Copies of this chain bind each other. A is one copy, B any other.
Amino acid sequence: MFKNKESKNFIPFNKPYFSGDEIKYIKDGISIGNISGNGKYTKLCQTFIENKYSFKKCLLTNSCTDALEMAAILLDIKPGDEVIMPSYTFVSTANPFILRGAIIVFCDSKKDHPSIDEDLIEGLITNNTKAIVSVHYAGFSCDMDKIMSISLKYDLYVVEDAAQAIDNYYVDSHNVLKPVGGIGHLSAFSFHESKNIIGGEGGMLVVNDERFIKRAEIIWEKGTDRAAFWRGEVDKYLWRDLGSSFLPSELVAAFLYSQLQNLDLIQNKRKIIWNNYYESLKVIGDKVKLPNVPTYSLNNAHMFFLICKDSDQCFKLNKFLKNKNIYSAFHYHSLHTSPYYLEKHDGRILINCDKYANSLIRLPIYYELNQNDQQKIIDSVICFFNENH
């Protein structure tokens, strides 16, 4: 698959950005003698993000999956509870709720955007519905006013799967900017190396509903009140609840902190690359669909994708680029038709989800993508659509 990877002119699909200070912070963590969880750098990361986005409470986790597992435990998801989420998403949106016994009710994507079709959600609600998971695909915000008003009407919880959405904003109907991840009752972010801001692996739970803050910290610390113990609030820590070891190592937190220090730098560069793709590829806009930035969302430049006319064209473009040493990538298989869930799904056809599963292709976007390489990608894509198909 990666036969040309050794080539000097190889353009990878993703290349993690390193700020240069990661090792300095990791060394500092080691010199303090603390490399397990909830140390200096965990606190620095959490405080940085809480301050920057006015989030009430942030807890670093080993992964976005971990953060969603914490959400499922916090919401007391029980066997038989139904959770509504898009089918066009990563398996980790669904697994944390299934682990608690939930039935996943998959919702289709919008016709003009891969994220959940908010207008279909209400029709999927039953007496067993407990929560809606809004996945901010490619970092673009879902229409959160719509989703929150449904949640209010039916007394449901909203969990934002903001894995790809760090540093993005929802634009509400009054044109007020709200940080993505700060709107639902709970939110989950990813710092996996494929994301804008990275810790290797790593994720974060954001608690927006204050009722969940105290319990979140206990679940995070293996079901104990150890965090309160370290703060001197209790004499000894005890087993008080369900929980797991959701805390990442300080090695991960120190790495992440270095990235957060460079957040604006990283984001600005990615936006330049994203906008360059968009402006340059407009010329083939009648032949392939470019990303549709929703009116209610800003753009955090996490991903640049094209929607081909079908699976065949998508595969051909991928191969065409690969022959030029450019690595593009497809994205999700529809979860509702995956081997694990096909028999459990209620049989509804999710036509838009399947369309994106078949025809969406992602182009390289990373901090170090230089102008020459990007121009090569742009020229190749234009060439493919103009000359070949």
Contacts and interface: CB of A to CB of B under 8 A. Distances in A.
Interface of A: 1, 15-16, 18, 22-23, 26-27, 30, 33-37, 62-66, 69, 73, 79, 90-92, 94-96, 98-99, 101, 192-194, 198-202, 222-224, 232, 236, 238-245, 247-252, 255, 333, 335, 338-341
Taking each of A33, A198, A247, A249, which has the highest tally of chain B beta carbons within 10 Å of its own beta carbon? A249
Contacts of A200: 35-37, 249-252
Please classify the interface of chain A as helix (H, G, I), strand (E, B), loop, or mixed, using the class held by over half of its residues.
Answer: loop
> How many identical chains are in the complex?
2
Given A16-B35, A222-B65, A224-B91, A239 B201 contact: no
Taking each of A37, A198, A245, which has the highest tally of chain B beta carbons within 10 Å of its own beta carbon? A245
17 contacts: A18-B30, A23-B26, A35-B193, A35-B200, A36-B193, A63-B244, A91-B224, A92-B222, A95-B242, A95-B244, A96-B244, A99-B242, A201-B245, A238-B339, A239-B340, A251-B252, A251-B255
A245 B65 contact: yes
A287 to B, nearest CB: 26
Contact of A192 (B36, B64, B239): B36
Taking each of A63, A243, A333, which has the highest tally of chain B beta carbons within 10 Å of its own beta carbon? A63
A19 to B, nearest CB: 11
A198 B35 contact: yes
Given A96-B244, A238-B338, A223 B36 contact: no
A250 B252 CA distance: 9
Closest 5 CB pairs of A and B: A200-B249, A35-B200, A65-B245, A63-B245, A239-B338
Contact of A241 (B232, B248, B251, B340): B340
Contacts of A63: 62, 244-245
A161 B384 CA distance: 56
Contacts of A333: 236, 238-239
